[in-house]
């Protein structure tokens, strides 16, 4: 039934951290995006056509990464240098593409 489906969906959302805890109401929360994951996303988006700009697009917005929140997170992303001065944004890419970024920042699985 619809009620069972809604209940199971709510349980899943609560389990993965999309909803806060509460008895009658559960606030919607934004998942934490680690700096390494944000770096992966930015380098991935750099290589594809999408709406918006590298720092203002629906992908980042869907993760709650906009404005000052995004700016704070960008300062910790490996493979990027991010600065803002007098409203001018400077985003410097340290690697030419996602593959080069991944080789520099992602651990090799199964390596001895």
Q: Give tens-digit pLDDT for 30-68.
A: 778 999 999 999 999 998 888 888 889 999 998 889 998
Question: What is the percentage of the chain residues whose pLDDT exceeds 90?
Answer: 49
Burial 52-81 (b: 16+ CB within 10 A, else e): eeebeeeebeebebeeeebeebbeebebbe
Residue 54 is classified by DSSP as S
Look up tokens 């992303």; give the residue.
Answer: 77
pTM to 2 decimals?
0.73
Look up tokens 């991935």; give the residue.
Answer: 44
């Amino acid at each position: 039934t619809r009620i069972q489906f809604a209940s199971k969906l709510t349980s899943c959302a609560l389990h993965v951290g999309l909803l806060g805890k509460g008895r009658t109401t559960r606030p919607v929360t934004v998942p934490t995006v680690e700096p390494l994951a944000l770096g992966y996303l930015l380098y991935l988006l750099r290589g594809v056509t999408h709406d918006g700009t590298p720092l203002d697009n629906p992908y980042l917005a869907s993760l709650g990464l906009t404005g000052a929140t995004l700016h704070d997170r960008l300062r910790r992303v490996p493979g990027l240098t991010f600065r803002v001065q007098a409203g001018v944004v400077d985003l410097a890419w340290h690697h030419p593409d996602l593959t080069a970024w991944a080789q520099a920042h992602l651990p090799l699985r199964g390596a001895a």
